[in-house]
Structure 1
Amino acid sequence: MWMIQGPASARSCKIPLALRVFGLKSYSTKTFDPLRILFCGSDEFSIASLKALHAYHLKHPERISSIDVVCRPGKRVGRGLKQIREVSFGRFVPPRILNGAKYGGLNVHPSILPNFRGPAPLHHTLLAGETNTGVTVQTLHHKNFDHGTILSQTPAPGFNVPNPDSCTVLELQSFVAPKGAQMLVESIDKGLYVPPLKDVGWCSAEDERELTHACKINPEDRHIKWAEWTSTDIRRRNRVIGPLWSKAACATSSANEPPSFQQKRVIFTDTEEVDPPFESQSFRELPGLPFTDASPSDEPGTGSLYVYTADCKVHRINRMKVEGQKDSAALPAARKARMIGEQTLQHGNGELTPFHDSLV
C-alpha cells in the first residue's frame, strides 16, 4: 500500500506547499501488482495529485486497486477564529508505518530539489525573483523533510514561472500542481519506487552551498527592513506575503509635557512606487523616514504620505492601519496617531511636516 502525505504549510500564507507519498505493501511480491494507496492531505496542491491518482486508478486498476484518504481537520483562523482553512498533513509518518512500507515513501515537492528545500518553496521561489522552477518526486527520509532520493524531477533549468513580475503564490501553485501530479503518476507507472532506486538529482555537495532554504513564512518576514530593502524587494514581498508592516514612534505626551513616545505597529494596506514629490537629499539619505508634502495649515485631505526605500525610490503610502485604529487613508491616520511632529521644515517653495522618527 502507498501513503501520500502533504507538507506543513506556512502559517501566514494559507496555502500548501508539497506532497508526500509512502509505499507500504503490495498484494504480492510482484513488482507491478496492484497497490493500495493511503492518501494523506486535503489542500489544493495535494488534491491535484489525488485526482490524478484516482484517474489513473480507474484507467489502470491492475496497478492501483484502492485509494483511501486521511486528512487533518480544518484549522480555525482569522479574527474570532470564524474562518476554517484546509491544512496539509504536515507531520512525519510514524516510524512503525514507514518502516513497514515495502517501498518506502514518496514526496512531490514544487521545486527542483534540493534547491528551495523546506515548507515554503513556492513563496521563496517568488521572493528570490526566480523566473524558472520545477517539481520533484523523491523518497521520504526517515528523519528530515525533503532529504530523500530524487527519483524524477523537471530537467534544469526548469519551466518558466508564469508572469514572474506579477505572479502570486496561488497562481504559481495552480501552475505547478498539475505538473507535480503528472510526475507522480508517471513515477508510479514506471515503477520508479521499486528498488534498486536510481538517484537522478543534479546537485553536488559543492552546489548545496549556494542553495536557498525555503523556511516557513512568519510575521517577521513582513517586517520591512528600510535600510536594506529596495523598492523591488518591498513590492515583491507585498505581492507574495503582504501586507507588510513596520513600527512608528507616536507621541503620547501633551504639548506642555516632556516628549514621550510609544512604538505602534503600522500595517501598509495600499502603497505604490511614485516619482518624488520634490527633491530632498536629506530624505533620500534616510530610508524609512516618512514625510508629507502637506503643511499643518492645509485643508484636511490635502497632501500624501511618502517614504524612501534603500535604493532611493519613493513609495506613496495610500492607506495603512495604525495599531489601535481602523484601516484608513494614510496621512489622516498618521496625524491621528500623532506620528507627526509639531515643528516644520522649510524646503523649496513649501512647508514640509516631518515625522518624529523613522519607521523601524
Structure 2
Amino acid sequence: MTKVVFMGTPDFSVPILRMIHEEGYEVLAVVTQPDRPVGRKRVLTPPPVKAEALRLGLPVIQPERLRGSQELEEIIALAPDIIITAAYGQILPKVLLDAPPLGCINVHASLLPKYRGGAPIHQAILDGEKTTGVTIMYMAEKLDAGDIISQREIAIEESDNTGILFDKLSTIGRDLLKETLPAIIAGTNERIIQDEEQVTFAHNISRDQERIHWEKDARAVFNQVRGLSPWPVAYTTLQGENVKIWSAKMGNTSSNGEPGQVVNINKTSFEVSTGNGTIEILDLQPAGKKRMTAEEYLRGTGSKLSIGDQFE
C-alpha cells in the first residue's frame, strides 16, 4: 500500500484528501496551516483540511513555519512514499522535496506555466481568460516550476466567479489526480518540462487590486468584481465610506457619465459608468452592514442614492 503524506489547507484541498483516503492509500499524516482567528469575534477556527482529516480519523500536523521546524523532522521520519500537496500555503524545503522516493507532487489550479503562485483562480478571471484548468506536477525548489505530469482544461463561464470556479477546479483536481496517481506510482507517467518563456504569475491579491478603478472599461470592472468574489471582495467608496461590491453584470445603458457615476436606477439594481460602458450592481455591502441585494439597498436608502452620485 502506497504511503502518503497530504498537505493542504482550504476547501479546495478537501475533496482531494477525501479521494486519497477513499482510494485506499495509507495517509500517514495530514499537514495543514495552524488554526486562525476568524470573523469579528476572532474565533479560533481550524482550516477546512484539518476538519476533514479529523472526521476521517487521520493524524494532523500544523507547523507555523515548516522550514527548520520539529514538525518537518516528524514528517520526514514518517517515511512516506509520496507527498501530495494541494493549496498548502507554504514553500516546501529541499530536504522534504528530496525525502519521498516517488517525489512530491502538487495539484495546481492553473494550466502551467501560466499563473504560477498563490492566486491562479482569481487572476485568470481578473485577466478575462476564457479557459483555465488543473495541473498535476512534480514540485521543485522554484515556485510551481516543476515538471508537468498531467493537465485538464475547462472553460471559464460568464457566470463564474472565483468561488464557483474554485469548486469546479477542486473537483477536476480530485478526478485528475485519481486518474494520474497509478501511473506516478508505477513510474510510467509523463514528465513535461515547463516552457519558461510562457511563464506568468498570479501573486496573492493586494489591497490595491481590491479597489475598483472606475476609469477602466466595463469588462475589466466586471471581471474584477467576479474575480474577487466571494473573497476578498472588490470595493469602492461612496461619500467617504467603503462599499463592497459582491456581484455585478455588464450594463446596458449608453452613458456619457464620468467613471464611477451612477447613471441609472431601477427597482432591483443600479448602473455605474466606467471608462467605457456601465456596470449593473446586483449585490453590495455598505460599511458596517451585512451583504444585501441592490434592491434591498435601494429600498433601505430611499432617495439617498441618486443619479449623478459618484463612487470613487
| TM-score, structure 2 normalization | 0.68
Q: In the TM superposition, what whole-angstrom CA distance separates every residue of 1:298-332 from its partner, at most 9, and x where no partner exists?
A: xxx99x9653111133x455775554677773598
The aligned residue for residue 138 of structure 2 is 139
Number of the residue aligned with 1:288: 260
Give 2:311's aligned residue. Answer: 359
In the other structure, the counterpart of 1:98 is: 97
Residues 320, 333 of structure 1: 8 Å contact kept? no
One of 189, 195, 207 as aligned partner of 2:198: 207
CA distance, structure 1, for counterparts of residue 282 and residue 138 of structure 2: 48
Q: Alignment partner for residue 160 of structure 1, among 150, 154, 179?
A: 154
The one-character-per-residue Cα deviations of 1:171-224 (angstroms, maximum 9, x if unpaired) are 3233232332333344331136859x85324x534333xx4x222124432211
User: C-alpha distance in 2, partners of 1:236/1:268?
Assistant: 12
Match of 1:40 in 2: 7
* Amino acid across the alignment from 2:13: S
1:172 aligns with 2:165: yes
Give yes or no for contact 2:214–2:221 (8 Å, CA) kept in 1.
no
Matching of residue 55 in structure 1 with residue 22 in structure 2: yes
Q: 1:312 to 1:78 in 2, by over 3 A?
A: same
Q: Distance in 2 between matches of 1:325 and 1:112?
A: 38
Shift of 1:116: 1.6
Which structure is larger by alpha-carbon Rg, 1 or 2?
Answer: 1
CA offset at residue 165 of structure 1?
A: 0.7
User: Is residue 74–residue 86 contact of structure 1 (8 Å, CA) maintained in 2?
Assistant: no
Change (3 A) 1:227 1:140: same
Whether 2:193 is the aligned partner of 1:225: answer no
Q: 1:330/1:190 Cα in 2 relative to 1: closer, same or farther (>3 Å)? A: same
Question: Are residues 308 and 135 of structure 1, via their aligned partners in 2, closer, same or farther at CA, if it must alter by over 3 Å?
Answer: same
Q: Which residue of 2 aligns with 1:247?
A: 237
Q: Against the structure 1 CA distance between its residues 188 and 79, is the aligned structure 2 distance closer, same or farther, given a 3 Å change threshold?
A: same
Rounded to whole Å, the distance in 2 between the matches of 1:169 and 1:271 is: 14
Letter aligned with residue 158 of structure 2: D
SS of the residue corresponding to residue 134 of structure 1 reads strand
Amino acid at match of 2:143: F
The one of 34, 41, 48 aligned to 1:86: 48
Equivalence for 2:114: 115
Contact 1:109 1:135 in 2 (8 A): yes
Cα displacement string for residues 241-276 of structure 1 (whole angstroms, at most 9, x for unaligned residues): 14432234x4xxxxxxxxxxxx43333456565544
Q: What secondary structure, in the 3-state scheme, does the structure 2 residue paired with 1:114 have?
A: coil
Match of 1:145, SS?
Answer: coil
**1:234 corresponds to 2:225:** no
**8 Å Cα contact 2:125/2:226 also seen in 1:** no
- 1:26 is matched with none
8 Å CA contact 2:10, 2:48 repeated in 1? yes
Relative to total residues, which structure has the larger helix share, 1 or 2? 2
For the residue of structure 1 that corresponds to 2:37, the secondary structure is strand
After TM superposition, the score normalised by the length of structure 1 is 0.60
Q: Which runs of 5+ in 1 are unaligned?
A: 1-33, 58-63, 251-262, 294-300, 341-352
Residues 1:322 and 1:36: Cα distance change in structure 2 (over 3 Å) = closer
Q: In structure 2, do the counterparts of structure 1 residues 83 and 335 end up closer, same or farther at CA, with 3 Å as the change threshold?
A: farther
Of 257, 274, 277, 1:312 maps to 277
* Code of the aligned partner of 2:48: E
Deviation, structure 1 residue 334: 9.9
Measured at CA, do residues 288 and 53 of structure 1 come closer, stay the same or move farther in structure 2, by a change above 3 Å? Answer: same
Aligned position for 1:25: none
Q: RMSD of aligned C-alpha atoms? A: 3.8
C-alpha distance in 1 between matches for 2:28 and 2:40: 37
SS at the partner of 1:135?
A: strand
Aligned-pair CA distance for 1:83: 7.7
Q: Which residue of 2 aligns with 1:266?
A: 243
Amino acid at match of 1:312: G
